[in-house]
Amino acid sequence: MPTRQLLALFTCTLVSLTVGNAITALLPVYLTQLGAEPAITGYFLSLVFLALAAGTVAAGWLSDRLQRRRTLLILAGVISVPANWLISQAITLEQLAVYSVISTFFAGMGIPLVNIIAGMSAEESQRGKVFGVLAFAAGLGGLVGGLAGGPIADRWGFSALYQASALITIVYPLAALLVREPRTGGSHAKSDEKAPLGAAFYILFAANIAAWTAVFVSGMGRPLVMNQIGFDSASISQTVAIGAGVTLPLSPLLGSLSDRMGRRNLIALCYAGGMAGMLVLAASASLWHFWVSSVLVTMIVTGTGIASALVTDVVPPEGLDTAMSLFTSTNLIAGVIGFALTGLVIQGLGANTTFVLGALLPVMAIVLLAAIKRRA
pLDDT in tens, 258-305: 777 778 888 999 999 999 999 999 998 888 999 999 999 989 988 887
Alpha helices in the chain (DSSP H): 3-24, 27-33, 38-66, 69-88, 93-121, 127-156, 158-169, 171-176, 186-190, 199-229, 233-247, 250-261, 264-282, 287-314, 320-328, 330-349, 351-375
Most confident region among 112-126, 264-278, 317-331 by mean pLDDT: 264-278
Go through the domains of the chain in sequence order and give each one's CATH number.
Answer: 3-181+197-375 (1.20.1250.20)
pLDDT in tens, 296-314: 998 998 888 788 888 888 8
Q: Radius of gyration (Cα) for the chain, nearest Å?
A: 19
What is the C-alpha to C-alpha distance for residues 55 and 70, in angstroms, rounded to an integer?
Answer: 16
pLDDT at 146 over 80: no
The DSSP 8-state label assigned to residue 122 in this structure reads S
What is the C-alpha to C-alpha distance for residues 369 and 374, in angstroms, rounded to an integer?
Answer: 9
Give residue 265's identity as a one-letter amino acid code: N
pLDDT at 46 over 50: yes
DSSP of 246-294: HHTTHHHHHHHHHHHH-SHHHHHHHHHHHHHHHHHHHT--SHHHHHHHH
pLDDT at 364 over 90: yes
CA neighbours within 13 Å on the CB side: how many for 275?
15
What is the C-alpha to C-alpha distance for residues 204 and 66, in angstroms, rounded to an integer?
Answer: 27
Q: Is the pTM of this model over 0.75?
A: no
What pLDDT is recorded for position 131? 78
What pLDDT is recorded for position 184? 60
What pLDDT is recorded for position 62? 85
pLDDT in tens, 159-189: 888 888 889 999 999 999 998 887 665 444 4
CA neighbours within 13 Å on the CB side: how many for 30?
29
pLDDT at 357 over 90: yes
pLDDT at 110 over 80: yes
Mean pLDDT over each residue of the chain, to the nearest integer: 82
Average confidence (pLDDT) over 221-225: 87
Question: For residue 376, what pLDDT band results from cuts at 50, 70 and 90?
Answer: very low
CA distances from 132 to 10, 109, 146, 206, 375 (A): 10, 20, 21, 21, 25
Question: For residue 205, what pLDDT band results from cuts at 50, 70 and 90?
Answer: very high
Average confidence (pLDDT) over 37-52: 80
Question: For residue 33, what pLDDT band results from cuts at 50, 70 and 90?
Answer: confident
* Percent of residues, the chain, with pLDDT higher than 70: 94
Average confidence (pLDDT) over 81-94: 83
What is the C-alpha to C-alpha distance for residues 43 and 51, in angstroms, rounded to an integer?
Answer: 12
